[in-house]
Amino acid sequence: MNCNPFTFGHLYLIETAAKENEEVIVFVVEEDRSSFPTDIRFNLVKLGCSHLKNVTVIKGGRYIISSNTFPSYFLRKKDDKLSIYTKLDATIFGMYIAKFFNINKRYVGTEPYCDVTNEYNKTMLSVLPKYGVEVCLVERMTKDGRAVSASIVRELLKHDRLSEVESLVPQVTYDFLKTQEGKKIIENIKRRDLPH
């Protein structure tokens, strides 16, 4: 998971996996190319999952959704290379990471908004079973008729609608957004969309 930032949608997916499995590992994308820096995303997920005793949260390293294996993810670019990158990332996960951690299921949420992530889900569904990994596609959590999404949260933050964010994120995320560090990130999100 990228968790940019950590939302109730992410938590729902993790809790679903936790109910259905003895042990769950959450890999947080380690590449620092998101609005929320890696350490903050990682800590929010770790704190937000602390009530789940069978969940371990770790950083994803250089080979789980990184610019080494899947640069299109960060560019949000759907092009001819996307298929190659999604297959590379999924194959590395199946051949090495799943084998090392003894992973037999990978949980992903349905993706109504992002073509790149949707393409990645499709690739995992075709690649990972070859390595003994079942892909569990979980219907996205919805709120007020739309999927709960980090991109929607960022959009609300960009338009000074923090009060609307509260219903989409766990308390740990909402509390962070009200800190000085959180306010700086919100200001950076707003600046990214200003005309140059």
CATH number of the domain where residue 50 is located: 3.40.50.620
Residue 147 falls within a domain, yes or no? Answer: no
Highest mean pLDDT among 4-18, 55-69, 83-97: 4-18
> Would you state the pLDDT for residue 192?
79
Most confident of 20-34, 74-88, 101-115: 20-34
| Res. 73 pLDDT band, cuts 50 70 90 | very low
Is 170 a domain residue?
no
Residue 65: pLDDT over 60: no
Q: Is residue 156 part of a domain?
A: no
| pLDDT recorded at residue 118 | 82
User: Is residue 76 in some structural domain?
Assistant: yes
Domain that holds residue 138: 8-142
List, for residues 101-151, the tens digit of each pLDDT value. 999 999 999 877 777 778 888 999 999 999 999 999 999 999 988 889 999
Residue 113 in domain:
yes
Least confident of 37-51, 61-75, 84-98, 112-126: 61-75
Confidence band of 72 (pLDDT split at 50, 70, 90): very low
Q: Number of structural domains, the chain?
A: 1
Please indicate, yes or no, if residue 65 is contained in any of the structural domains. yes
What is the DSSP track for 39-107? HHHHHHHHHHTTT-TTEEEEE-GGGSSSTTT-HHHHHT--SHHHHHHHHHHHHHIIIIIHHHHT--EEE
Query: Quick check: is 119 in a domain?
Result: yes
CA distance 160 to 155: 9
Q: Which residue has the higher pLDDT, 84 or 48?
A: 48
- What pLDDT does 193 receive? 59
Q: What is the pTM of this model?
A: 0.88
